[in-house]
Amino acid sequence: MRRAAGTTGGDNGDHDWWRDAVVYQIYVRSFADSSGDGVGDLDGIRGRLGYLELLGVDAIWLTPFFRSPMADHGYDVADPRDVDPLFGDLNAFDGLVAEAHERGMRVVVDLVPNHTSDAHEWFVAARNAAPGSPERDRYILRDGTGPDGAAPPNNWTSIFGGNAWTRLDDGQWYLHLFSPEQPDLNWENPEVWADLERTLRCWLDRGVDGFRIDVAHGMAKPPGLPDMVEPIEPQHGLLPDDVEDRRFDAEGVHDIHRMIRKVLDEYVGRLAVGEIWVTSDVAFGRYVRPDELHQGFNFRLAAADFDAADLRRAIDHSLAAVGDTGASPTWTLSNHDVVREVTRYGGGELGVRRARAMTLVALALPGSVYVYNGAELGLPQVELPDDALQDPVWERSGHTERGRDGARVPVPWEGAEPPYGFSMTAATWLPMPSDWADLTVAAQLEDPDSMLSLYRRALELRREHAAPDDAALEWHGAPEGCLAFHRDAGSLVCALNTSPVAVPLPPGDVLLASGPLPDDERVLPPETAAWLSPASA
């Protein structure tokens, strides 16, 4: 059993609590709305902490709740050291942290160091200042190319579609790897470093247990901003493999992570986990060297198909990527940027069956697991009408990419119709489907066969059968289309069948299965995973 977090930021001796933690990602806009404006908020989260305790997670990660014009729903930060009034205030934040700690859960907050909002006072000043001024030096501004400098400084495209450069009235261009409302900071400017350090200390002193670092492979840019080798298609999901992308993963980024780590090391038990969309295992491993990030999100499992061979490859790569760095691996099936797993695996009953099986796989692996809110309810991606879409990707792509809103629809808590207890108003910031009555938390708590009941039982068993977090994973021989592994001698065995036929179950007592097992035969049906006891394995 994991020890409870202390009330002052988890300083209780369990210093590297994250190594095998289950971290629950809260998309703040969509978790619980206490104010009745249709948007989730900090008091809403506080009111639902009992649920998270019941679910059995070790920590929560809050997506950005800082002051922001919300062009990218909070990933455009105008003041990184204050709470946006839409979500509450600093008192509400302190109250949330204190209560989470009392309930034994850590709190991780998002940090967005690659860019600010264009409404940040620095960018307002940069816009109003002259080319070459210190104000402009905090961002990446350049003269254009071609006649009158009317063409952008290089061929970089924005991740959200379109050009990565926008021209100011006086003719200079500024870089934004995301939307034009998110100008990239110039990490060659010492003021930028000093400001991030201030932000880190501000939240560390308020008791947060760690940071999720947005675009942790961004920030530093290659000298001279060379053209991209070939324009890479706009991405808002998983990056393609084996493509060199000059916009990201510049060598200088590692110095920034060393600075972050140094600050965190002055405190006890504080985590830095980076969002790292790099392709090679070697490149990934460099982010989690002993003096850099403690962990990085590895998205390979989420990118893999529901296919044993593909999954095994993803797992092997994720383990190889942390290699001998000493960092623990991380696993995630989804987050607010990717299509929800139920839909990715085929949707409908098939998608649910597969997502249930994958939940048992992820939770059996060594390292920590990040669970995106609503995954524990088996929420599907929602098909939203065009006029409801809010993700900047929709506009930026000229209405060719629908963006990420379908994964961000508010969480249904109880009741038969929208807003299902999420808010007092049915006019929620994204509309909630009318057929979610069976997916609410209340409905699923009652049902022993629900996705929520599976998660609760799995998290309980995971704690009971905790293996040393540095235990190596061992693969068992398995029939075609199947995989089976355990973490160490004392840990449970996980078996998965992605093939269309039932296969014999490995030895051991079945502790938990993702779907019904026949009474009269020891087999693992298709699209099913099972955990088996180690004793008789």
Active site residues: 214, 266
Among 75, 203, 297, 531, binds ligand GLC (CB under 6 A): 75
Which one, 14 or 76, has the nearer CB to ligand GLC? 76
Q: Does 249 bind ligand GLC (CB under 6 A)?
A: no
DSSP labels, 398-416: TSS---SGGG-PPPP-SSS
Which one, 215 or 511, has the nearer CB to ligand GLC? 215
Report the nearest approach of ligand GLC to the CB of residue 514 (Å): 28
Which one, 27 or 455, has the nearer CB to ligand GLC? 27
Near ligand GLC in 103-142, by CB under 6 A: 112
Sketch the per residue contact string, 329 through 368, with ligand GLC: x for CB under 6 A, - otherwise.
-------xx-------------------------------
Give the C-alpha separation, 500 to 82, whole Å: 53
Report the nearest approach of ligand GLC to the CB of residue 342 (Å): 20
Residue number with the smallest Cβ distance to ligand GLC = 75
Sketch the per residue contact string, 270 through 289, with ligand GLC: x for CB under 6 A, - otherwise.
-----x--------------
8 A C-beta contact, residue 146 and residue 216: no
Which one, 213 or 492, has the nearer CB to ligand GLC? 213
Give the C-alpha separation, 407 to 389, whole Å: 11
Q: Does 72 bind ligand GLC (CB under 6 A)?
A: yes
Report the nearest approach of ligand GLC to the CB of residue 289 (Å): 22
Q: Does 178 bind ligand GLC (CB under 6 A)?
A: yes
Per-residue exposure over 330-368, b if at least 16 CB sit within 10 Å of its own CB, e if not? bbbbbbbbbbbbbbbbeeeeebbbbbbbbbbbbbbbbbb
Backbone angles phi, psi at 515, to 5 degrees: -150, 175
Which one, 203 or 485, has the nearer CB to ligand GLC? 203
Q: Does 297 bind ligand GLC (CB under 6 A)?
A: no
Report the nearest approach of ligand GLC to the CB of residue 85 (Å): 21
Report the nearest approach of ligand GLC to the CB of residue 392 (Å): 8
Q: Diameter of the chain by CA atoms?
A: 79
Own/partner pairs, 220-226, CB within 8 angstroms, 24+ separation: 220/187, 220/250, 220/251, 220/252, 220/253, 220/255, 220/256, 221/140, 221/175, 221/184, 221/187, 221/247, 221/250, 221/252, 222/246, 222/250, 222/251, 225/140, 225/142, 225/153, 225/154, 225/156, 225/175, 226/154
Give the C-alpha separation, 299 to 296, whole Å: 9
Which one, 160 or 531, has the nearer CB to ligand GLC? 160
What the block records as the tokens of 6 is 């202390």
What the block records as the tokens of 395 is 């506009």
Q: Does 214 bind ligand GLC (CB under 6 A)?
A: yes
Q: Which residues bind ligand GLC (CB under 6 A)?
A: 72, 75, 112, 178, 214-215, 275, 336-337
